[in-house]
Amino acid sequence: MSQNPVTSAPQTPDDWRIPTALMTDHYELTMLQAALKAGTAHRRSRFELFTRRLPSGRRYGVVAGVGRALEGLSRFRFDTPELDFLADTTALDDATLAWLADFEFTGDIVGYAEGEAYFPHSPLLQVESTFAEACILETYLLSIYNYDSAVASAASRMTAVADGRPCAEMGSRRTHEEAAVAAARAAAVAGFTATSNLEAGRRYGIPTVGTAAHSFTLLHDSERAAFEAQVAALGADTTLLVDTYDVEEGVRTAVDVAGPALRNVRVDSGDLVVQAHRVRELLDELGNTQTGIMVTSDLDEYAIASLRSAPVSSYGVGTRLVTGSGAPTASMVYKLVARQDDDGEWVDVAKASSGKASRGGRKEAARRRDRRGRATAEVVGVNRGAAPDADDRPLLHRFVHAGELAGGWTGPEAVTRAAERHAASLRELPASVGRLQPGDPAIPTIFLED
């Protein structure tokens, strides 16, 4: 596998490579300063990113954000503008500012592949470096993993109940402009086939879709005039929005204007189950048996599940997707789990607070499977291997070694591979992962310790 230095950004357009070093919390740098003064900043340390629990009722989560995090790591530098800001607005001393000016990540990072399913206490990311280097990455890594994984986990539930019908991400107007791009990417990791967001298409090669809103119909003197204008511009291979006025009349007008080659009609309001059945009947009566029905209107996994028996061709999902469908964060944390002492010996460390305990030590992880290849447990070895059984599938991959970025984890191709990995990961899990009812994680997490 080819190696690219972390100092070299992925092969992506220059104009969106914004600096990332200040996308962090103030206390990361005050900890750095205190550790530098104490002489402990250069102790070799291991940090682990994981979640203690899944959102209420969820049976699994989906890892997303790996590629974005690695892309950002290449830009995590403190250049003159960042250093000037810190010098003017914080109490950081000259020694700390000088350390930041020379910062480059030189450590190792391993973790779960993007698109992989995860469970409570899965060691999703492990960062080994000096305390100083790993510490200042905490907020940045968590902000990406928590949001992207929340969206991907929601998207996975939606694509699972869609039963192979395409889902398109359409939530850009419901979130921050950069979060919109991240959400589109995370949704693609979990099986969404397209996005309305053009920037996501440019950065990550995700197919983009979109035709017209209600305002386009209202702009024209009649619904017919609007449809004629759209078909004249885009051809009959388009989607006509038929619920600006009366749905049935809209369908009749759409068929009259576009003919049997019309790709889709879109319904965005009302009782979608009833509407879909009536629209299908009407399309068939009018001879448009090949015209599909796309539904939108604040869909989530429960609404999509309710439409399983309806003659729907595809779904457009916005608000509920980009907000995690009730779980806007994956609740991941980033904890120090081991460090070297002054003699270079590794010491396991762990937080013992009630309800927030962590488990110290270096982790290995594997998916335990039965003879049929069905997953039965998440096995985590602490300071030992985790795959004693030949059927166990190792879960950790090397992303960065000695500051060098492994190839294959960033860019458009990585999104495609992550989507394939996500589908394979879910096929491996018990059938219970497809249930929307509250329940325990689909498989238990088992710790192996010497």
Average pLDDT on 245-250 reads 97
pTM above 0.85, yes or no: yes
Q: Within this chain, do residues 140 and 105 fall inside the same structural domain, yes or no?
A: yes
pLDDT in tens, 8-25: 334 444 444 666 799 999
Q: Which of 312, 339, 360 is the last residue of a domain?
A: 312
In this structure, the number of other CB atoms found within 10 A of the CB of residue 340 comes to 16
Q: How many residues can be counted in the chain?
A: 450
Q: Within this chain, do residues 273 and 343 fall inside the same structural domain, yes or no?
A: no
Residue 34: give its domain's CATH number. 3.20.140.10
Domain assignment present for 182: no
Q: Within this chain, do residues 76 and 125 fall inside the same structural domain, yes or no?
A: yes
Domain assignment present for 201: no
Domain assignment present for 383: yes
Q: Is 298 left (phi over 0), alpha (psi -120 to 50) or beta?
A: left
Residue 1 has pLDDT above 50, yes or no: no
Domain assignment present for 173: no
Encoded tokens for 376:
């039965």
Q: How confident is the model at residue 120 (pLDDT cuts 50, 70, 90)?
A: very high
Domain extent for 304 = 211-312
Rounded distance, CA 335 to CA 48, Å?
5
Average pLDDT on 232-236 reads 97
Domain assignment present for 425: yes
Domain assignment present for 264: yes
Residue 260: give its domain's CATH number. 3.20.20.70
Q: Within this chain, do residues 355 and 389 fall inside the same structural domain, yes or no?
A: yes
pLDDT in tens, 301-312: 999 999 999 999
Domain assignment present for 275: yes
Q: How many domains does the chain have?
A: 2
Q: Within this chain, do residues 337 and 289 fall inside the same structural domain, yes or no?
A: no
- Characterize 134-162 residue by residue with b for buried, 16 or more Cβ atoms within 10 angstroms of its Cβ, and e for exposed: bbbbbbbbbbbbbbbbbbbbbbbbbbbbb
